[in-house]
Every structure is written in structure tokens, then in C-alpha cells.
Amino acid sequence: MGRSSRQQAEENRERIVKVASGLFAANGVGAVGIADVMKAAGMTQGGFYKHFESKDALAAEACSFAFAGAARMWRQVAETAQHAGRDAAGAIVTYYLDPKPPEMTCPMVTYAPDAASAPGEHPLNAAYSAGVRDLFDTFCELSGPGSSDASRDHARMQFAAMVGSNMLTRPSRGAGWLTRFRQSIKTNLNPGGQAKADRNTARTVDRARQKPERRS
């Protein structure tokens, strides 16, 4: 019986973290309260403190959970690309910048405002810093940039460009001039992106040529 109770407690804690991670991603940490998380998890608000000392503690754990999930997804994307004979780094860039549901917002975007305003010793700050570093290391590993300083700098440029464009365009609600940032990054950071863009342009031109001219 005791073991069953411990297992249930662990499952409940994991559920709270998973639900909180999705809510924080969709709405922001500050906009989500403990009551919101527990209601979405199907539990009573009073049960929260059996698992966490505070919302800050939950936010830190949800942050780590989100970063771990992002790293796993990047690995899956890279593996699929490699099996298809495509560039892993380019596949990650394209996947990262493609539209996603709000609950799948990048943790670097979700937690940046709260981590930036938190004291240096705050658990969320530590979780965010560790998560960004781990995700960058994952990107370098999967893209195979090499170990030289120049290769590492190139990986930093790629990583910063795709994350920066995501942060710029996310609040824009589809503003055309901002969303072009995403396409520019996809084209320039994905080795196959320019070729794909050229093929799309060629097809558009061909279709235009095939249309019969209107006579007055």
C-alpha cells in the first residue's frame, strides 16, 4: 500500500509539472496561478503544497521539463533528417521556426522574461540558464559544427539567429514584415533552404507563364 501511495504521489507530481509546462508556454508564467494549474491537472488547489513549496519551485521544474522535451524533439528531428539524407542542422532550424500550438512555445521564449527578472540565485534563473546551455550543446552535437573556435562561433550565430527571430516574431500576430524574419533565417541557415526557395520561385514563374494572356 505504501509503495502504491508513493507511486501515485510521483505520478501526480509529474502531471502537475507537465500541465504547468503547457500552461506557462501558452500564457506566460505570470499569467498562470496555482489554482489554474491544479484545476487543469484535475486536482484540488490544497494538494499543491504536498508536492511544491511555492509556485517559483514549480516554475523552475516546469522550465527544466520543457527544455528536456525540446532537446528530445530536436534529436528526433535530426535523426529523421539524417535518415532521409538531409542536413540535421537545417532540419532543426526549419522545425524550430515552423508554426506550433501555443503550448509548444519554445522554453527559451516562454521563460526568458521571468528568468531575466529573477535574482541570480533564484531556482528559475538556474533552470533557465542550464536549459539554454544544454539546448545549445544539443544543437552543436546534432549539427556537427566541429570543435574549432570558428565552428563553435558559427553554431552560436545560427542558434542566436533562429532563437532571436522567434522572439521577435512571436508577439507580432502575423505582421508581414516581421514574419519575413523567419523565412530569411530558414533560407540562410538551412543549407537546402535557398535551393528550396529557388525551386518555389521557379514554379511560381512557370505557372505565371502558363496562364493565357488576357486580351483587351
Report the CATH number that the domain containing residue 97 is assigned in CATH: 1.10.357
Per the domain annotation, does 43 fall within a domain? Answer: no
**Interval 173-196 mean pLDDT:** 66
Per the domain annotation, does 52 fall within a domain? Answer: no
**Interval 54-68 mean pLDDT:** 97
**Interval 144-153 mean pLDDT:** 72
Query: Cell 509539472 identifies what position?
Result: 17
- Whether the full predicted model's pTM is greater than 0.85, yes or no, is no
Per the domain annotation, does 84 fall within a domain? Answer: yes
Per the domain annotation, does 86 fall within a domain? Answer: yes
pLDDT exceeds 80 at position 208:
no
Per the domain annotation, does 132 fall within a domain? Answer: yes
Per the domain annotation, does 28 fall within a domain? Answer: no
Percent of residues, the chain, with pLDDT higher than 70: 81
Per the domain annotation, does 16 fall within a domain? Answer: no
Q: In sequence order, what are the residues at sequence separation of 6 or more whose Cβ sits closer than 8 angstroms to the Cβ of residue 110?
A: 24, 25, 28, 29, 63, 66
Q: Report the chain's mean pLDDT, rounded to a whole number.
A: 83
pLDDT exceeds 70 at position 98:
yes
**Interval 200-207 mean pLDDT:** 38
Query: pLDDT digit string (tens) for 15-28?
Result: 999 999 999 999 99
Give residue 65's pLDDT.
98
Lowest-confidence region among 11-15, 133-137, 167-171: 167-171
**In total, how many domains does the chain have?**
1
**Interval 179-189 mean pLDDT:** 76
SS3 track for the chain: CHHHHHHHHHHHHHHHHHHHHHHHHHHCCCCCCHHHHHHHHCCCHHHHHHCCCCHHHHHHHHHHHHHHHHHHHHHHHHHHHHHCCCCHHHHHHHHHHCCCCHHHCCHHHHCHHHHHHCCCCCHHHHHHHHHHHHHHHHHHHHHCCCCCHHHHHHHHHHHHHHHHHHHHHHHHCCCHHHHHHHHHHHHHHCCCHHHHHHHHHHHHHHHHHHCCCCCC
Give residue 213's pLDDT.
44
Query: pLDDT digit string (tens) for 8-57?
Result: 999 999 999 999 999 999 999 999 999 999 999 999 999 999 999 999 99
Per the domain annotation, does 92 fall within a domain? Answer: yes
The domain in which residue 124 lies consists of 57-209
Query: pLDDT digit string (tens) for 99-123?
Result: 889 999 999 999 999 999 888 788 9
Q: C-alpha grid cell for residue 171? A: 508577439
